[in-house]
């Protein structure tokens, strides 16, 4: 970084517009951009404090007349921590969360306990998919693993009157907040007996097209040692694709999940996927 560039930045009067910066750990701050290049960004906070940050620490930067965004001119995506169902390795961020209705089946609340630890709790309503209430509890730890990479581990447990089962997984995400892909690997197992029901790998992608629109793809690759839906079927693939329409406070997922039946007359049944989420934050904007 040249001394001239630094001197011009520090001499700036700081009367430019306030913009919202989303950091790579999920934090959002308001500041004025004094100067930036491909390696460094210098900002001024509301209280006048000036901070120099590495450019890689900023995921997105709200639009401003003289400041180009880091990954797009659309502002942060509050839904970056999840795809249709599977999680990314992005965290919600401390004090941020959502109330979600997934596929008209699971009602849940997620919250960022810290900038690297997320918790979610909810339920599957009886009479819809089950005869008795089923509680759902999830947790995820995630952190940066490089300039554009993140890694995470987590679990999701379904608590039923007969026992508990669920997923244990590790995942990795590459890209930025607007456009990223995730590979996850784990197992579906009984937490009472330890018996593994299936080995699972998921591949997911989120590609933001504009301020309020993203395209989402998600594929579950499963191996059932004892046979899946059909006794002789060990490998089973469940793809899904569609769009997410969202704003700062809401998100609507609309997609299709083609279910391969194995029947010659109706080999594929397209199942619609519709989910809603309301995003909230305990932090002051």
Report pLDDT for 265.
75
The pLDDT tens digits for 101-142 are: 988 788 999 999 998 999 999 998 765 555 677 899 999 999
Give the integer Cα–Cα distance in Å for 269 and 262: 10
Per-residue pLDDT in tens (0 to 9) along the chain, 285 residues = 444 445 444 444 444 567 777 787 777 777 877 777 667 788 877 767 788 888 777 776 664 433 334 444 567 788 999 999 999 999 998 899 999 998 878 899 999 999 899 999 999 876 555 567 789 999 999 998 987 899 999 999 999 888 899 999 999 999 988 899 999 999 999 988 888 889 999 999 999 998 899 999 999 999 988 765 556 678 888 999 999 999 889 999 999 999 876 677 767 888 899 999 999 988 654
Give 236-239 contacts, CB < 8 A, sequence gap 24+.
236/260
**What is the b/e burial string over 52-70, where b = at least 16 CB atoms within 10 angstroms of the residue's CB?**
eeeebbbbbbbebeebebb
pTM: 0.72
Report pLDDT for 76.
77
Percent of residues in the chain assigned helix, strand, coil, to nearest 5: 5, 60, 35
Report pLDDT for 69.
40
CA angle, residues 175, 149, 158, in degrees to nearest 5: 95
Q: Do domains 3-61 and 96-281 have the same CATH topology?
A: no
Q: Which class is domain 3-61?
A: mainly beta
Report pLDDT for 281.
87
Domain boundaries, given as residue ranges, for the chain:
3-61, 96-281
Give the integer Cα–Cα distance in Å for 276 and 107: 10
Report pLDDT for 70.
42
Q: Which class is domain 96-281?
A: mainly beta
Report pLDDT for 58.
78
Closest by CA to 84, choosing from 278, 213, 256, 229, is 256
Report pLDDT for 168.
97
The pLDDT tens digits for 5-29 are: 454 444 444 445 677 777 877 777 7
Report pLDDT for 65.
38
Distances (CA, A) of 253 to 107, 185, 269, 278: 15, 24, 19, 12
Give the integer Cα–Cα distance in Å for 31 and 117: 26
Length of the chain: 285
């Amino acid at each position: 970084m040249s001394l001239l560039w630094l001197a011009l930045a520090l001499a700036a009067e700081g009367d430019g517009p306030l913009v919202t910066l989303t950091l790579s750990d999920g934090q959002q701050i308001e500041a004025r951009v004094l100067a930036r290049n491909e390696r460094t960004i210098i900002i001024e906070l509301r209280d006048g404090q000036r901070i120099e940050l590495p450019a890689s620490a900023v995921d997105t930067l709200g639009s401003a007349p003289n400041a180009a965004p880091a990954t797009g001119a659309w502002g942060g995506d509050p839904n970056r921590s999840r795809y249709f169902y599977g999680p990314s390795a992005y965290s919600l961020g401390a004090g941020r969360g959502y109330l979600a209705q997934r596929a008209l089946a699971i009602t849940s609340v997620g919250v960022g306990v810290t900038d690297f630890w997320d918790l979610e709790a909810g339920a599957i309503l009886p009479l819809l998919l089950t005869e008795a209430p089923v509680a759902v509890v999830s947790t995820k730890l995630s952190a940066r693993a490089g300039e554009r990479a993140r890694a995470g581990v987590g679990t999701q447990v379904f608590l039923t009157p007969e026992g508990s089962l669920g997923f244990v997984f590790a995942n990795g995400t590459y890209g930025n907040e607007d456009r990223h892909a995730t590979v996850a690997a784990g197992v579906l197992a009984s937490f009472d007996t330890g018996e593994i029901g299936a080995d699972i790998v998921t591949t997911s992608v989120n590609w933001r097209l504009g301020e309020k629109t993203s395209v989402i793809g998600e594929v579950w690759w499963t191996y059932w040692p004892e046979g899946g839906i059909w006794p002789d079927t060990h490998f089973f693939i469940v793809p899904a694709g569609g769009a997410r329409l969202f704003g700062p406070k809401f998100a609507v997922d609309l997609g299709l999940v083609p279910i391969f039946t194995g029947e010659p007359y109706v080999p594929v049944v397209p199942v619609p996927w519709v989910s809603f989420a309301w995003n909230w934050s305990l932090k002051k904007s």
